[in-house]
C-alpha cells in the first residue's frame, strides 16, 4: 500500500472510510481507528427530531462558563448518591 497524505479536515467519515477501503487499509488499522474519536470545533450544533442517546461507561461535560439544560421535564436518576456542589444552590 502506498503511503498517502489525507486532508482530514475536508473529508466526511464516510469519505475517509471509502478511501481506506480503496487503498486496501488492513482491517487491524481500521479497527484501531475506531477506538477513539476526537472532535474539535469552534462551534458544533447537533439537531435530532427523535431520541439522541449516548451509552458510555462514563460521560463528562466541561463548560468553562455556564452549562444550560432546557426541557419541559427533567429527570435525574442515580442508583446511588447524587452530589450537587456550588457556592449557592437555588431550588424552586
| pLDDT digit string, tens, across residues 71-84 | 999 999 999 999 99
Q: Which residues contact 82 (CB under 8 A, 6 or more apart)?
A: 76
Q: pLDDT (tens digit, 9 = 90+) per residue, 1-42?
A: 444 555 556 677 777 777 777 776 666 555 555 667 778 888
Enumerate the domain spans of the chain: 1-34
Q: Which residues contact 40 (CB under 8 A, 6 or more apart)?
A: none
Cβ–Cβ < 8 Å for 1, 24: yes
Alpha-helical segments (H) within 7-83: 13-22, 27-33
Look at the pTM and tell me if it is higher than 0.85.
no
Q: Per-residue pLDDT averaged across 42-56, rounded?
A: 91
Report the distance separating Cα 16 and Cα 9, nearest Å: 10
Amino acid at each position: 500500500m502506498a503511503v498517502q497524505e489525507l486532508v482530514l479536515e475536508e473529508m466526511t467519515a464516510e469519505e475517509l472510510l471509502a478511501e481506506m477501503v480503496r487503498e486496501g487499509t488492513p482491517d487491524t488499522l481500521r479497527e484501531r481507528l475506531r477506538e477513539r474519536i476526537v472532535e474539535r470545533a469552534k462551534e458544533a450544533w447537533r439537531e435530532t427530531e427523535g431520541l439522541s442517546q449516548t451509552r458510555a461507561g462514563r460521560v463528562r461535560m466541561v463548560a468553562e462558563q455556564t452549562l444550560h439544560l432546557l426541557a419541559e421535564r427533567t429527570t435525574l436518576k442515580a442508583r446511588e448518591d447524587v452530589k450537587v456542589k456550588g457556592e449557592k444552590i437555588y431550588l424552586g
